[in-house]
């Protein structure tokens, strides 16, 4: 998997990671295609016998480009900063102390006023305590402070303190709470000198949105302006060491050889001389326009790619999309370049062996369709540069249209069709592109009695068959690199011999059976709404693995006739054990490096639902018990799959506990449970539509009814029937 290594690299390089990735792709692609578009100035003459093969370029090191890459690598290193946690604590303490002093002064002023009223004589008027008096008292309090603290408080002018004393008790407490809250939040992060202005601006914007009066807002803004200071300081020595290491790690930039024009030991005849003149390889200066156009095309591709990917909010997914796209595109271009080097004018049809469907299909299946379409388009554009020498010939038209059509057909192939409907994969990736090749050949007026025409069609078919083989053979491994929940991983996790499943079966057999039942119900329901059925099934297998820690405290694992251990526990203790199976389960799954979505479903399968039984018991003991204390920690289901598991889990457990479950009882119960989940807001964040919820309900009801339908009990022997009849008569008598 490339996600974690890529994320670690992101943490090291920071915002420079994308420029470095783009630069690497730019350099690599330019170097790969350079020999196809580069024309160099050489003074050759007809009749000359060359000592070595004349190529489009030589393999040399580009010293300037290497130095530039070293410079970029050094600049891409994120500066190292030293974080001083005490700075934040000190600033928090100063602000907190300020409010304590103001509170003390206000309290003393109020006490003095009350004492004056109590000692008031007839006819005397007791003046109220003025803000100016309070301000004087506050400054007297400052006299007892040390110099550093006093300097901080002197940064605030009298208007600030006057506004502070004019606040009502409610506003004062609110301002105090908000000031300390925001300071705590900000000082959890590293604050550099350059960040101060942005942080203060952000805090000002947040304060402006608060429902406070203007003086209260001004007080908060003033506090933030004085209290927010840097707590991270540049470590120049460490930064310079990292930059030097980055320079040393840079590999030289190489320019590679291209097509052979005249082989070693051969004479430059008139035909070869003419080719050299057309290509600009004689004494005439070579044209730079093809190279400039190539550079512009690569930059355009990167810009469009960036525009599409920036719409992805998740940074990890954004990085994966960029790296996966660029790697797949470069791999496709590399194959195309190899074919171009091998072929010559007599076998130009070899270019049709290129698997043009594979890269767009893989990008569509692993990333998204828009990027797949982008790959299909730029795959053709890059082919125009790689086959630059063939421009103007009839084969180029066939190449371009075949590549474009095959690439776009790859965007129509879904990942699920590889495993379930392979005939569709065969249709989109082979049949239709071959038919398009027939159309192009016919349009070009090529003779069907010419063997080259049939070789062209055959090569086109072979190229699409190679695409199909790549799709079927390589896709599972590529998926394994990009995703942690690939088909191979899920199939391995669904194996009953997995250590966790074996442990669950041995130590918590009831939970194991329950998980299998929930898996069947959930997988069928998710398949009915077009979700990820296999992933849901695997997640269900492991969703209750946390019960291994206290297996006998869950009723499904109790031996027949055993006393429920919760009868001997306080509701608070029972609650912690039940809650713990979610948290412990997530920890166990993380230790086993399970797919993130399996861990998420484990965390979310109870959402924030109420543990009613123990809540009611606790309420009987203590009427002041809060409902929130007996709700699962959540979060609520964040995906459709997690929501389905949440519903199926509760339904299976409840129906299993029913006496004589009938189809009608099951149907009513499932409907009521789903309705209660909707009213409780448990499905609000899952993305389920009402129509999908109805489909899920129907699927779960059918699954439960087929499993828990009532059965007629038949006596096995006549003696058993007789004894049963006698027993019934005794009861009636």
pLDDT tens profile 159-200: 888 888 888 888 888 888 888 888 888 888 888 888 888 888
What confidence score (pLDDT) does residue 41 get? 52
What confidence score (pLDDT) does residue 694 get? 94
Whether the pLDDT of residue 616 is over 70: the answer is yes
Residue 536 has, within 13 A of its CA and on its CB side, a CA count of 29
For the chain, give every domain's residue range.
82-234, 301-482, 489-708
When pLDDT is cut at 50, 70 and 90, the band that residue 561 belongs to is: low
| Rounded CA separation 142/98 (Å) | 9
The strand ranges marked E within 389-528 are: none
Stretch 338-359: mean pLDDT: 77
Whether the pLDDT of residue 14 is over 70: the answer is yes
Q: Which residue has the tokens 């049709």?
A: 352
Whether the pLDDT of residue 213 is over 60: the answer is yes
Whether the pLDDT of residue 8 is over 80: the answer is no
DSSP state for residue 232 in the 8-state scheme: E
When pLDDT is cut at 50, 70 and 90, the band that residue 733 belongs to is: very low
What confidence score (pLDDT) does residue 277 get? 55
When pLDDT is cut at 50, 70 and 90, the band that residue 299 belongs to is: very high
Percent over 90 (pLDDT), the chain: 10
Beta carbons of 525 and 651 less than 8 angstroms apart: no
Buried b (16+ CB within 10 A) or exposed e, 673-711: bbeebeeeebbebbebeeebbebbbebbbbbbbeebeee
Beta carbons of 639 and 687 less than 8 angstroms apart: yes
pLDDT digits (tens, 9 = 90+) for 595-610: 888 999 999 988 888 8
Q: Any idea which architecture 489-708 has in CATH?
A: Orthogonal Bundle (1.10)
3-state SS, 381-429, equals: HHHHHHCHHHCCCHHHHHHHHHHHHHHHHHCCCCHHHHHCCHHHHHHHH
């Amino acid at each position: 998997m490339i996600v974690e290594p890529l994320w670690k690299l992101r943490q090291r390089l920071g915002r420079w990671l994308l420029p470095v990735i783009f630069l690497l792709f730019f350099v690599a692609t330019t170097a790969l295609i350079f020999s196809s578009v580069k024309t160099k100035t050489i003074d050759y003459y007809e009749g000359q016998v060359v000592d070595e093969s004349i190529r489009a370029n030589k393999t040399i090191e580009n010293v300037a480009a290497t130095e530039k890459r070293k410079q970029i690598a050094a600049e891409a290193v994120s500066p190292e900063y030293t974080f001083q946690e005490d700075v934040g604590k000190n600033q928090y303490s100063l602000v907190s102390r300020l409010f304590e002093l103001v509170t003390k002064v206000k309290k003393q002023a109020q006490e003095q006023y009350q004492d004056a009223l109590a000692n008031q004589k007839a006819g005397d008027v007791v003046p109220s305590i003025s803000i100016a008096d309070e301000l004087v008292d506050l400054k007297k309090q400052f006299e007892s402070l040390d110099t550093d603290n006093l300097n901080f408080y002197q940064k605030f002018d009298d208007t600030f303190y006057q506004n502070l004393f004019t606040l009502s008790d409610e506003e004062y407490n609110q301002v105090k709470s908000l000031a300390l809250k925001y300071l705590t939040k900000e000082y959890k992060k590293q604050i550099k000198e350059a960040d101060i202005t942005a942080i203060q601006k952000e805090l000002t914007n947040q304060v402006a949105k608060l429902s406070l009066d203007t003086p209260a807002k001004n007080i908060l803004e003033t506090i933030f302006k004085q209290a927010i200071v840097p707590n991270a300081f540049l470590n120049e020595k460490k930064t310079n060491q990292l930059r030097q290491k980055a320079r040393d790690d840079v590999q030289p930039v190489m320019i590679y050889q291209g097509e052979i024009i005249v082989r070693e030991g051969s004479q430059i005849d008139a035909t070869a001389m003419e080719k050299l003149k057309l290509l600009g390889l004689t004494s005439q200066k070579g044209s730079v326009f093809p190279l400039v156009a190539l550079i512009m095309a690569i930059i355009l591709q990167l810009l469009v790619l960036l525009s599409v990917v920036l719409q992805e909010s998740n940074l990890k997914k954004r990085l994966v999309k960029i790296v996966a796209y660029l790697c797949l595109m470069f791999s496709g271009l590399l194959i195309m370049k190899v074919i171009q080097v091998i072929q010559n004018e007599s076998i130009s049809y070899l270019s049709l062996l290129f698997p043009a469907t594979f890269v767009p299909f893989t990008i569509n299946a692993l990333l998204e369709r828009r990027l797949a379409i982008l790959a299909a388009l730029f795959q053709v554009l890059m082919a125009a540069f790689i086959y630059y020498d063939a421009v103007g010939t009839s084969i180029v038209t066939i190449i371009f249209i075949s590549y474009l059509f095959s690439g776009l057909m790859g965007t129509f192939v879904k990942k699920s069709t590889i495993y379930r409907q392979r005939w569709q994969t065969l249709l989109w990736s082979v049949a239709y592109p071959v038919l398009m090749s027939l159309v192009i050949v016919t349009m070009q007026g090529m003779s069907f009695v010419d063997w080259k025409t049939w070789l062209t069609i055959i090569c086109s078919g072979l190229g699409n068959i190679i695409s199909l083989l790549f799709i079927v053979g390589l896709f599972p491994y590529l998926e394994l690199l990009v995703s942690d929940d690939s088909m191979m991983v899920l199939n391995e996790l669904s194996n009953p011999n997995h250590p966790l499943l074996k442990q669950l079966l041995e130590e918590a057999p009831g939970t194991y059976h329950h998980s299998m039942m929930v898996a069947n119900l959930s997988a069928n329901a998710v398949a009915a709404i077009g979700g990820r059925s296999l992933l849901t099934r695997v997640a269900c297998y492991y969703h209750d693995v946390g019960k291994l820690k206290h297996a006998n405290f869950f009723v499904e694992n109790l031996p027949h006739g055993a006393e429920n251990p919760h009868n001997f526990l306080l509701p608070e203790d029972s609650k912690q054990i039940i809650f713990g199976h979610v948290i412990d389960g997530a920890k166990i799954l993380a230790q086993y490096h399970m797919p993130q979505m399996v861990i998420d479903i484990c965390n979310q399968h109870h959402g924030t639902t109420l543990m009613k039984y123990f809540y009611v018991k606790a309420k009987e003991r203590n009427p002041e018990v809060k409902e929130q204390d007996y709700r699962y920690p959540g979060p609520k289901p964040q995906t459709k799959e997690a929501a389905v598991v949440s519903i199926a889990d509760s339904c299976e457990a409840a129906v299993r506990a029913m006496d004589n479950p009938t189809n009608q009882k099951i149907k009513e119960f499932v409907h009521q449970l789903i309705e209660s989940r909707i009213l409780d807001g448990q499905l609000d964040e899952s993305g389920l539509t009402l129509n999908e919820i109805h489909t899920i309900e129907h699927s779960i009801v059918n699954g439960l009814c087929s499993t828990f339908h009532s059965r007629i009990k038949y006596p096995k022997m006549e003696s058993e029937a007789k004894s049963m009849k006698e027993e019934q008569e005794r009861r009636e008598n």
